[in-house]
Amino acid sequence: MGVKRNKAAPRPPGTPLRLPIIYMLIAILGWCGSTAWGNPSDPPAATRGIIAIDPGHGGKQNGSRSPQGFLEKEICLALARQLAILLEPDFRVILTRSDDYDLPLTERTGIANHHRADLFISLHTAAGFVPAASGIAIYTYKPAAKGPGLDREPSDASEVAVWHLAQLPHSTASRNLALLFQQQFEAMPGAPAVQTGQGPLVVLAGADMPAVLIEVGYLTHPATAERLNTPAGQILYAQAMARAIDSFFAARRQSAQP
């Protein structure tokens, strides 16, 4: 025997349809998850890797200054942006700072670790007492014989010990990356001498990926400062770095092949 069902009363014209509360909540939460909370609606495009670029200094920390008044923090940010433009078609690029503000040293590598970057590149300029001093220097991390390192972050000794362990497994890859940068910088037109070195640099210590610090030139050298402050000069340096990064990933792909 069938069950008798009551017919729903007809809805008067103009009366809004009232959805059950649960459906309304689902709709609202779905909108928040896709739009209000910034989640992309489509999956990100495939990339060859994630590159973290760290423009040195920022905020109250100007860094070195050229005779013309150019500041290291501004040169490094402009160069980082130019490098990002060249890399972004193939790589996902993370800038540790995107504007002029202070950022602790350990937070810079913390950002790279958070995004699981494949490379960490910290950009700087140098300064000398003699205006004729010039050249490009590329550094990788090496623990100090004693003490936490050249910088004063972090202050807790146990924290320093753990933090410094992050970069050690990547030492060989970091040195290989430094050599690739050296080769590309030396191939630049009119490039000065390029050298590589190692040191207890805290900004590199906590990077859990191959990492280098590059001093792209001496701001106290007038001609170098002019070159680094022009878009054409910045593109030249950025192209050399992009080629080095391409070579690093090409070598890694080749070594991964059976």
Q: Structural domains in the chain? A: 50-256 (3.40.630.40)
**Run of H or E including 125:** strand 119-126
Please identify which residue in the block is written with the tokens 């593109």.
Answer: 235
The DSSP-derived string for 23-64 is: HHHHHHHHHIIIIIT---SSPPPP-S-EEEEEE--BTTB---
Percent of the chain with pLDDT over 70: 75
Which one, of 223, 220, 244, lies nearest residue 233 by Cα? 223
Which residue is it, tokens 């810079």? Answer: 108
| Single-letter amino acid, residue 87 | L
CB 201 within 8 A of CB 138: no
Among the listed ranges 17-31, 104-118, 119-133, 156-170, which one has the minimum average pLDDT value? 17-31
Contact 87, 246 (CB under 8 A): no
Assign 20 a pLDDT band (cuts: 50, 70, 90): very low
pLDDT attached to residue 37:
28
Mean pLDDT over 147-167 rounds to 56
Amino acid at 242: A
The model's pLDDT over 109-146, given as tens digits with 9 standing for 90+, comes to 999 999 999 999 999 999 999 999 999 999 999 998 76
Amino acid at 126: A
DSSP state of 38: -
DSSP 8-state assignment for residue 7 = P
Specify the higher pLDDT residue, 32 or 167: 167
DSSP 65: B
Global pTM value: 0.78
Average pLDDT over residues 191-208: 93
**Residue 67: what residue type?**
P
- pLDDT value of residue 191: 81
Contact 59, 102 (CB under 8 A): yes
Of 17-31, 57-71, 148-162, the least confident? 17-31
Confidence category of residue 165, pLDDT binned at 50, 70, 90: confident
Q: Does the structure show a pLDDT above 70 at 153? A: no
Q: Which of the four pLDDT bands, split at 50, 70 and 90, describes residue 24?
A: very low
Name the pairing type of β-strands 211-218 and 92-95. Answer: unpaired
Evaluate whether 198 touches 245 at the Cβ level (below 8 Å): no
- Give the CA-trace dihedral at 193, 198, 200, 202, to 10 degrees: 60
Model confidence pLDDT, tens digit, residues 224-233: 999 999 999 9
pLDDT at position 146: 64
More confident residue, 163 or 231: 231
Q: Which residue has the tokens 């937070």?
A: 107
pLDDT above 70 for 157? no
3-class SS of residue 137:
strand
